[in-house]
Structure 1
């Protein structure tokens, strides 16, 4: 039998993604993923449609990970969020108290708001979701951090 081992530590250098150089890591501090992307098997099934990234503290600045236009900034149910349209992508960040307005142009690295409490319970984190032509994809494809899979034997030969 074989086991799939995959690291999820983000690969970044100076806040700029090595996966897509036009992308920036959205929060300061250690680049740590709290919860990975888990694609749902069907559009309305359970899953985790983004990644949760460790954030330094409530009130920390959140920056645009990519250049684009603010598609939405405000509350959805009880969560503040900002969504940026970048070509065929929609990038949503939450919980972010918006410092931008719908229709505003932003560049990767621009402050778009401040981290609000509540998404990860006892620890501060930022949820980042990416949709490509309406389908959720892992944000780490753009931010960096997907390491190659390594197959290892479960038992010694």
Structure 2
């Protein structure tokens, strides 16, 4: 019968001892590892009207054939209150051509615009997230009846405001089985 050499036996014992110590250290230090912080607070913008989140016309990029749609239209009844989705300062409140427009500049440099919104706020007025900033005008010349147009510009470039709203973000991914 062949027996392992004493050197091989010692090496095997050392390796087994190191494995046990390594596992013990991992188990013993598990309480030192902290889980990532998850906040129940929304990280994006507040929905600007009380109506349920519904986009009636999505953002569309400019094309060689036309300007696209430089914002989103969301369902809201004429006369509905409009709320600031994020804090900022009123940049413009008045009429553009024949429709009432409100623009707010946010601390990150983004400018949001809302139309047709009648507001009694003056340029330079600070607004807080969720603050009432105006009402949806019943005089719809740019948007379809029952819609609020929300635009977003950053450094003069029009962007899709949809992803900024918490209400339009999926809550969680749901994985479904491929088959049973």
TM range (shorter): 0.7 to 0.9
C-alpha distance in structure 1 between counterparts of 2:42 and 2:151, whole Å: 19
**1:73 equivalenced with 2:96 (yes/no):** no
More strand by proportion, 1 or 2? 1
Query: How large is the Cα RMSD of the aligned pairs?
Result: 2.1
1:53-64, aligned counterparts within 5 Å? Answer: 53-55=74-76, 57-64=77-84
What secondary structure, in the 3-state scheme, does the structure 1 residue paired with 2:51 have?
coil
Structure 1 unaligned blocks of 5 or more: 1-16, 148-157
**Structure 2, unaligned runs of 5 or more:** 1-40, 171-180
TM-score normalised per structure 2: 0.65
Which protein is richer in helix relative to its size?
2
Asked if 2 retains the 8 angstrom alpha-carbon contact of 1:72 and 1:102, the reply is: yes
Please give the secondary structure, in 2, of the residue aligned with 1:141.
helix
Deviations 1:96-137 (A, max 9, x none): 00121100000111001110020433x311000000111111
- Give the distance between the partners of 1:18 and 1:39, measured in 2 at CA: 27
- TM-score (norm: length of structure 1): 0.74
**After the TM superposition, which segments of 4 or more aligned residues of structure 1 sit over 4 Å from their partners?**
none
